[in-house]
C-alpha cells in the first residue's frame, strides 16, 4: 500500500494524467486505442490492492472491470455499477489555447480533451476508491467498476461488447451511476443539480436513392440526386410533435419554480433560452429529431448518377421509437429508402428509490443549497448497454460549477476544461454517496 493521500489532493493530477493518454476515437475510421489509459487505471487500482480484468473487443480497444467488495461492505446487497469511459472525441490542436493532450492545469482548471467528457469523473472515481481502500473504509454495498472503450462511437467495442459477451459481469447490478449528470446549474442564485434519468434513443440512418444514370446534358425524370435532395429537405424541415416524458416535466416544473414564470411545452424553448447552452439540450428532448448530416452522390459533373446517399442523425424519445421510423418512412417517399447504420435504445428510469435519496442527501451534505432535479439527455451514453441487462441507470458525476461557466458547450468543444474545485467537490459527494447508496 502506498502512503495515504487525500482524494481531493490527487484528483486533479489523476485527471491530468488521464488526459495525456490520447484516446481519440475516430469512429469507423478507427481509433488510437484505449489500452494505455486502461492499463493506467488498472495500475492505480492495483496499487491499493484492487484487481482488475481487462477485455479487448479487438486489439487495443480495451475495457476494464473490477470488483470492489472489501471486508465490511454488506455483500448481501446487489452491487452498484460505477462506470466511465476512457475514449474521447478527436481534437484539433491548432484550435485550442493549450495542447489538448497535455493535461495542463491553468488558472485552477484542468484543460484538455476529456476534462469534461469524461476523464474528470474517471479521476474522481479513482481518487475516492483509492482513498477509501487505503483507509479501510468500505462502501455500504459491493461496487462494480467499469472503465469502457468506444463510448464516443456508440460503445459497440466497449460497453455494448461487454454486455453482449460478458453479461454475467454486470447483470447482478441493480443500479448504475455514470456520466452527464450531477453537475450544477445556477438559476436565480439557486443551484440545481441535474440528475440524468433518461436519454433519447439513437438512429443513425443511411438514406439511399436509386435512379437512372445518364448524360448530364439530357433531361432525366428519374434523377437520384433530385429525389434524395427533396427527401432530405422534407426530413430536415419536419416539425416533430412535442412529447413530454416524466423527467422532462419534473425539470420544467423545477425551472418554473425557480424562475417564477410558467413553463410549458409551447414556450419552453423560449423561456429556457435564458439558461444558456443547456437550453439546446433540453429543447432537443421535447420531440424526436432527425438532422441530415452527410450527403454524397455523383462522380463527374456531366454524369447523372444512378445512386445518391445521405446520412441522418436521428434521436427518439423513450416510447416513441416506432413513431420515429414510421414518420421517416413517410417523409422519404417511394423513391428513397433507409438503412439503420447504428440503432440504440432509449433509456428511462424513474426519479425515486434509495439510490436517488442517497444522491439528494450527499449533495445536501456538500451543498446545503442544492436541489436535485431529473432531466433527459439528448445524446447517449453507455447506460444504453447496461439498461439492456436490466440495470437502472443514472447520470451522476457530481460537480459544483461556477455560475458563469458554460459547461454544456465544453462537451466535445474547444478548450474543454474543468475547475479543480469542481473535481474536489465531486470527490466529497461521491465519498459520502458510497456510505449511503
Q: Tell me: do 235 and 382 sit in the same domain.
A: no
pLDDT at site 263: 74
**Domain annotation covers residue 189:** no
Residues 6+ apart with CB under 8 A from 435: 139, 140
Q: Tell me: do 16 and 165 sit in the same domain.
A: yes
- Report yes or no: 430 and 128 within 8 Å, Cβ to Cβ: yes
CATH number for the domain harbouring residue 226: 3.30.70.360
The domain containing residue 69 runs over which residues? 7-182+351-368+375-436
pLDDT at site 197: 96
Cell of 99: 495542447
Q: Tell me: do 214 and 84 sit in the same domain.
A: no
Residue in the block written with cell 488510437: 32
Q: Tell me: do 124 and 212 sit in the same domain.
A: no
**pTM for the whole structure:** 0.93
pLDDT at site 265: 67
Q: Tell me: do 90 and 49 sit in the same domain.
A: yes
CATH number for the domain harbouring residue 363: 3.40.630.10
Which of 239, 267, 240, 242 shows the shortest CA–CA distance to 252? 267
Which of 18, 38, 34 shows the shortest CA–CA distance to 26? 34
Q: Tell me: do 207 and 71 sit in the same domain.
A: no
Q: Tell me: do 39 and 178 sit in the same domain.
A: yes
pLDDT at site 274: 67
**Domain annotation covers residue 227:** yes
Q: Tell me: do 233 and 164 sit in the same domain.
A: no
pLDDT at site 270: 72
pLDDT at site 188: 85
The sheet carrying 307-316 orders its strands as 289-297, 307-316, 201-210, 336-344
Kindly report the number of other CB atoms within 10 A of residue 383's CB atom.
31
**Domain annotation covers residue 275:** no
Q: Tell me: do 109 and 236 sit in the same domain.
A: no
pLDDT at site 2: 46
**Domain annotation covers residue 150:** yes
Q: HSE (CB half, 13 Å, CA atoms) of 282?
A: 29
Q: HSE (CB half, 13 Å, CA atoms) of 194?
A: 25
Number of domains in the chain: 2
User: Mean pLDDT, 10 residues at a time, over the chain (437 residues)?
Assistant: 71 98 88 92 98 96 98 97 97 96 97 97 98 97 98 93 97 96 91 95 96 92 95 97 90 85 71 71 88 95 95 96 98 96 93 97 96 92 96 98 91 95 98 98
Q: Tell me: do 64 and 171 sit in the same domain.
A: yes
Amino acid at each position: 500500500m502506498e502512503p495515504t493521500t487525500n482524494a481531493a489532493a490527487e484528483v486533479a493530477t489523476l485527471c491530468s494524467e488521464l488526459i495525456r493518454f490520447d484516446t481519440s476515437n475516430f469512429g469507423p475510421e478507427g481509433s488510437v486505442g484505449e489500452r494505455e489509459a486502461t492499463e493506467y487505471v488498472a495500475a492505480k487500482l492495483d496499487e491499493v490492492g484492487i484487481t482488475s480484468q481487462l477485455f479487448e473487443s479487438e486489439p487495443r480497444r480495451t475495457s476494464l472491470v473490477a470488483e470492489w467488495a472489501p471486508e465490511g461492505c454488506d455483500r448481501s446487497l446487489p452491487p452498484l455499477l460505477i462506470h466511465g469511459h476512457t475514449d474521447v472525441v478527436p481534437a484539433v490542436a491548432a484550435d485550442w489555447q493549450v495542447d489538448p493532450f497535455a493535461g495542463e492545469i491553468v488558472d485552477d482548471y484542468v484543460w484538455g480533451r476529456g476534462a469534461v467528457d469524461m476523464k474528470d469523473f474517471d479521476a474522481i472515481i479513482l481518487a475516492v476508491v483509492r482513498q477509501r481502500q487505503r483507509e479501510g473504509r468500505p462502501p455500504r454495498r459491493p461496487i462494480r467498476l467499469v472503465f469502457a472503450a468506444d463510448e464516443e462511437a456508440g460503445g459497440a467495442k466497449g460497453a455494448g461488447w461487454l454486455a453482449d459477451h460478458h453479461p454475467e459481469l454486470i447483470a447482478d447490478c441493480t443500479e448504475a451511476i455514470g456520466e452527464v449528470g450531477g453537475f450544477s446549474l445556477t438559476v436565480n442564485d439557486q443551484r440545481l443539480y441535474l440528475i440524468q434519468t433518461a436519454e433519447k434513443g439513437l438512429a443513425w440512418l443511411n438514406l439511399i436513392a436509386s435512379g437512372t444514370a445518364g448524360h448530364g446534358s439530357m433531361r432525366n425524370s428519374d434523377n437520384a440526386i433530385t429525389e434524395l435532395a427533396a427527401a432530405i429537405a422534407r426530413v430536415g424541415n419536419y416539425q416533430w410533435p412535442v412529447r413530454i416524458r416524466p423527467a422532462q416535466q419534473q425539470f420544467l416544473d423545477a425551472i418554473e419554480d425557480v424562475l417564477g414564470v410558467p413553463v410549458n411545452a409551447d414556450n419552453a424553448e423560449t423561456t429556457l433560452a435564458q439558461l444558456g447552452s443547456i437550453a439546446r439540450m433540453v429543447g432537443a428532448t421535447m420531440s424526436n429529431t432527425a438532422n441530415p448530416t452527410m450527403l454524397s452522390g455523383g462522380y463527374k459533373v456531366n454524369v447523372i448518377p444512378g445512386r445518391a446517399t445521405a446520412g441522418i442523425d436521428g434521436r427518439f424519445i423513450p416510447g416513441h421509437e416506432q413513431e420515429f421510423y414510421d414518420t421517416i418512412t413517410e417523409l422519404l417517399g417511394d423513391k428513397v429508402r433507409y438503412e439503420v447504420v447504428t440503432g440504440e435504445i432509449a433509456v428511462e428510469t424513474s426519479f425515486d428509490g434509495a439510490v436517488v435519496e442517497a444522491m439528494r442527501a450527499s449533495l445536501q451534505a456538500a451543498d446545503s443549497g442544492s436541489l436535485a432535479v431529473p432531466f433527459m439527455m439528448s445524446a447517449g451514453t453507455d447506460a444504453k448497454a447496461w439498461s439492456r441487462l436490466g440495470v437502472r441507470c443514472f447520470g451522476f458525476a457530481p460537480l459544483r460549477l461556477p455560475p458563469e461557466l458554460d459547461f454544456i458547450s465544453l462537451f466535445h468543444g474547444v478548450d474543454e476544461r474543468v475547475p479543480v474545485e469542481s473535481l474536489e467537490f465531486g470527490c466529497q459527494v461521491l465519498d459520502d454517496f458510497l456510505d449511503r447508496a
